């Protein structure tokens, strides 16, 4: 009986200790921003692994296990993330090309707040008229949480007329007009 | 020696009265932005005079594009970059008092109280979070002493300068440009969202929460349908590191609101705007009101007060985001909690006083 009570108290303390945590633990936050211009789609993805999943993500990136992310490891991971996204414009698949990336240290990732930032773009040549874009993020869907937003176009030549997302923001459909 | 006549004395009295009249008027009127500038400069000088040379160098840094963006919702230890300025905890009580007087100078009394409630809330949170499971070398640190105060640029009545107070769940960035003061971008937050102190129940962001729930419930079914985002919002999108980004607006347009609903929306916006002093807040609210027809209100989550629901207000010159965060374990299934809130307040045309500086 006494042992049960001790276990119960320990359990409650453990829950309290963990629930007091102010930041992500076992999720991999992936926030995407899409920007449209008349000849390309820009994308910025911020990837922030929580404390519990940071070692796993770090080991996926740090393939030589030397404890540091080398430029080639960073490039490989950035390309992998972009390969695991899909972009269709007017029913045609477009490929993102990685432009640049920023990686935090393992210490920062271990704190659950180190953010990997990837910038990429996909080229397209749109004619005047209505267009439809479909974006989907398929990276680490087992513990990913997602945000996806379209930035307001920086030119009056493009008007976003409709935006729809799936309930968990892994994907987005955008209707837009190019003038 | 001639003795002045009664007539001469009367004339002299009238002349002195006339000469002093602007001074008399200025002391009788309500404090305005100019007064706030004068107060802020005096408070900055008073604060700086309490510091030694090394401390002054740390507190008073250059104002530029790299320094002004050093604010975060994160606590010391895991913020992506060191904050500007000095920790309150490294200042003497007299220096702390001078620092807080500086912060208070351009703010309204209720705005300053909100700031202090957030700072005190983190002191309460410190007692709740002794067992945070972070690595030793990156341990987050909480509490009143972990808020940083900084002066960016030279305190001046003509050239731009900034006052920053930042820490966990707080990023107050005040840009002072002559007689005008800009609060955007700024961040307020709370965890816990409700706490007790000196026998009082404190809810640092309670009015924001309650007014938002009142508004969503005051909308018609059709308006509410338009306001509702049919997806889960796991985090904020207007936070630090996203200066200059404007997302495509969503939700219901306030042009469709009744007069009462518009008043409720303005009253909600005021919770952020009126952190700054009355004169600047009044001017900002007038601008928000002018653009009300093009302002959107979007909501994700339940509409029962007490729920962890996300909302966003987005107009041509105002962006406000209220984003509940997770606290439970596992975070994924635990979802956001009403007890852990992040809010962001921006003006896409005037963050860091850009519009005023460009003039």
Q: What is the DSSP string of A25-68?
A: SS-EEEEEEEEEETTEEEEEEEEEE-TTTHHHHHHHH-TT-SSS
- The partner residue sitting opposite A107, judged by closest CB among B135, B237, B340, is B135
Burial class (CB in 10 A: 0-12, 13-18, 19+), A156: exposed
The verdict on a CB contact (< 8 Å) between A20 and B235 is no
Residues 38 to 67 of B: which have CB under 8 A from any A CB?
none
Cβ contacts of A22 on chain B, cutoff 8 Å: 75, 125, 129, 132, 140, 168, 191, 325, 327, 340
Chain A residues near residue B332 by CB distance under 8 angstroms: 26-27, 143, 145
SS3 (DSSP) at B238? coil
Q: Mean pLDDT, to the nearest integer, of A33-57?
A: 93
Inter-chain touch A168–B231, beta carbons under 8 Å: yes
Residue B294 pLDDT > 70 = yes
Section A129-148 average pLDDT = 96
Strand order in A171-178's β-sheet? A92-94, A85-89, A129-137, A171-178, A158-165
A146 CB near a chain B CB, below 8 Å? Answer: yes
**Chain B residues whose beta carbon lies within 8 Å of the beta carbon of residue A110:** 134-135, 138
The per-residue pLDDT for range B67-107, each reduced to its tens digit, is 999 999 888 777 777 899 999 999 999 999 999 999 999 99
Query: Cβ(A106)–Cβ(A144) under 8 Å?
Result: no
C-alpha span between A29 and B102 (Å, rounded): 37
Q: Do B247 and A25 touch (CB under 8 A)?
A: no
Local structure of B204: helix, strand or coil: coil
The minimum CA-CA distance between B20 and chain A, rounded to whole Å, is 54
Confidence of residue B7 (pLDDT cuts 50, 70, 90): low
Can you give the C-alpha Rg of chain B in angstroms? 23
CB-closest option in B138, B241, B250 to A163: B250
Residue pLDDT, tens place only, B308-317: 999 999 999 9
The encoded tokens of residue B73 equal 């919702």
Size of chain A, expressed as the number of residues it contains: 179
Residues 51-80 of A with CB under 8 A from B: 51
Is residue A74 scored above 50 in pLDDT?
yes
pLDDT band at A14 (very low <50, low <70, confident <90, very high): very low
**Angle made by CA atoms B243, B249, B252, in degrees to the nearest 5:** 145
Q: Do B135 and A112 touch (CB under 8 A)?
A: no
Q: State mean pLDDT over B11-25.
A: 44
Cβ separation of A165 and B247 shorter than 8 Å? no
pLDDT score of A12 more than 80: no
Kindly determine whether residue B134 and residue A110, on different chains, have CB atoms separated by under 8 Å: yes
Q: Is the torsion defined by CA of B65, B66, B68, B71 positive or negative?
A: positive
Residues on chain A touching B298 (C-beta within 8 angstroms):
none
Cβ-count burial A53-78 (b if 16+ within 10 Å, e if not): bbeebbeebbeeeeeebeeebbeebb
d(CA B268, CA A34): 29
The mean per-residue pLDDT over the stretch A135-157 comes to 95
Kindly report the average pLDDT of chain A as a whole number.
86
> Which chain A residues are closer than 8 Å to B237 by Cβ?
31, 33, 147, 149
B138 to A108: CB separation less than 8 angstroms, yes or no: yes
**B327 to chain A: which residues are within 8 Å by CB?**
19-22
In percent, the amount of chain B with pLDDT more than 90 equals: 76
List of chain A residues whose C-beta atoms are within 8 Å of the C-beta of residue B79: 113
Instruction: State the count of interchain CB pairs (< 8 A) between A and B.
Output: 125
Cβ B329–A146 below 8 Å, yes or no?
no
Q: Do A24 and B134 count as a contact with CB atoms less than 8 A apart?
A: no
Q: The pTM is what?
A: 0.87
Residue A87's nearest CA partner among A157, A143, A31, A40 is A40
**In chain A, pLDDT over 90 holds for what percent of residues?**
73
Q: What is the pLDDT of residue B130?
A: 54
Say whether the ipTM exceeds 0.85: no
- Report the residue from A29, A149, A166 with minimal CB separation from B247: A149
| Pairwise CB contact (< 8 Å): B129 & A21 | yes
CA–CA gap between residue A125 and residue A1 (Å, rounded): 73
Whole-number pLDDT of residue A102: 96
Q: Which of A89-98, B174-183, B332-341, B349-358 has the lowest mean pLDDT?
A: B332-341
At B24-52, the pLDDT tens digits run: 333 333 445 578 999 999 999 999 999 99
Strands (E), chain B: 60-61, 86-87, 148-152, 161-167, 170-177, 180-182, 186-190, 195-197, 200-202, 252-253, 296-300, 310-315, 318-326, 336-346
Q: For residue B6, what pLDDT band results from cuts at 50, 70 and 90?
A: low
Q: Which of A17-26, B123-132, B167-176, B261-270 has the lowest mean pLDDT?
A: A17-26
**Tokens coding B304:** 């029962």
Q: A150 and B213 in contact (C-beta within 8 Å)?
A: no
Q: Does B131 touch chain A (CB under 8 A)?
A: yes
Chain B residues close to A146, C-beta within 8 Å? 234
pLDDT-derived band at B255, boundaries 50, 70, 90:
very high
pLDDT confidence of residue B5: 55
Q: Which residues in chain A are closer than 8 Å to B130, comparing Cβ atoms? A: 17
Distance in Å, alpha carbon of B294 to nearest chain A alpha carbon: 14
Burial class of residue B50, CB neighbours in 10 A (0-12, 13-18, 19+): middle
The answer to whether A33 contacts B245, with C-beta atoms less than 8 Å apart, is yes
Chain A residues 15-44 with CB within 8 Å of chain B: 15, 17-27, 29, 31, 33
Q: Does B80 touch chain A (CB under 8 A)?
A: yes
Q: What does the pLDDT look like over B193-240, one tens digit per residue? A: 999 999 999 999 999 999 999 999 999 999 999 999 999 998 999 999
Tell whether B78 is within 8 A of chain A (Cβ).
yes
Q: How far is A150 from chain B (nearest CA, A)?
A: 6
């Amino acid at each position: 009986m006494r042992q049960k009570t001790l276990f119960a108290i320990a359990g409650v303390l453990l829950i309290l200790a963990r629930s007091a945590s102010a930041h992500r633990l076992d999720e991999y936050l992936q926030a995407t921003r899409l920007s449209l211009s008349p000849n390309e789609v820009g994308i910025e993805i911020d990837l922030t692994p929580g404390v519990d999943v940071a070692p796993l993500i770090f080991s996926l990136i740090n393939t030589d296990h030397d404890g540091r992310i080398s430029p080639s490891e960073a490039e490989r991971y950035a390309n992998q993330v972009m390969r695991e996204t899909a972009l269709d414009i007017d029913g045609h698949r477009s490929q993102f090309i990685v432009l640049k990336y920023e990686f935090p240290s393992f210490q920062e990732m271990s704190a659950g707040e180190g953010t990997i930032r990837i910038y990429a773009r996909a080229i397209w040549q749109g004619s005047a008229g209505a267009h439809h874009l479909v974006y989907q993020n398929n990276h680490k869907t087992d513990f990913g949480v997602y945000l996806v937003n379209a930035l307001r176009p920086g030119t009056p030549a493009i008007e976003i007329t409709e935006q729809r997302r799936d309930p968990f923001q892994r994907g987005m459909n955008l209707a837009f007009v190019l003038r | 020696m001639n003795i002045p006549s009664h007539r001469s004395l009367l004339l002299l009295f009238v002349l002195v009265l006339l000469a002093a009249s602007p001074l008399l008027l200025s002391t009788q009127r309500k404090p305005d932005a100019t007064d706030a500038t004068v107060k802020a400069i005096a408070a900055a000088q008073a604060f700086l005079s309490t510091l030694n040379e090394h401390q002054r160098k740390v507190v008073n840094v250059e104002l530029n594009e790299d320094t002004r963006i050093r604010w975060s919702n994160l606590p010391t230890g895991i913020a992506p970059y060191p904050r500007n300025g000095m920790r309150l905890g490294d200042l003497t009580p007299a220096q702390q008092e001078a620092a807080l007087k500086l912060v208070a100078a351009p703010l309204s009394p209720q705005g300053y109280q909100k700031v202090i409630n957030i700072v005190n809330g983190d002191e309460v949170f410190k007692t709740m979070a002794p067992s945070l499971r972070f690595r030793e070398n990156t341990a987050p640190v909480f509490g009143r002493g972990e808020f940083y105060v900084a002066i960016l640029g030279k305190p001046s009545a003509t050239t731009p300068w900034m006052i920053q107070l930042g820490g966990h769940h707080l990023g107050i960035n005040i840009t002072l440009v002559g007689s005008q003061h800009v609060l955007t971008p700024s961040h307020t937050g709370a965890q816990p969202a409700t706490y007790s102190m000196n026998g009082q129940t404190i809810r640092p962001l309670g009015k924001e929460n309650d007014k938002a729930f009142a508004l969503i419930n005051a909308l018609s079914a059709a308006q509410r349908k338009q306001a509702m985002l049919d997806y889960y919002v796991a985090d904020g999108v207007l936070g630090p590191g996203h200066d200059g980004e404007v997302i495509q607006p969503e939700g219901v347009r306030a042009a469709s609101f009744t007069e009462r609903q518009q008043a409720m929306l303005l009253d909600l916006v005021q919770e952020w705007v009126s952190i700054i002093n009355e004169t600047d807040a009044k001017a900002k609210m007038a601008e928000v009101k002018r653009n009300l027809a093009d302002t959107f209100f979007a909501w994700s989550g339940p509409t029962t007060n007490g729920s962890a629901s996300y909302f966003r207000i987005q107009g041509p010159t105002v962006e406000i985001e209220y984003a509940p965060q997770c606290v439970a374990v596992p975070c994924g299934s635990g979802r956001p909690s009403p007890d852990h809130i992040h809010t962001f307040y921006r003006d896409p045309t005037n963050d860091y006083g850009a519009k005023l500086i460009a003039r």
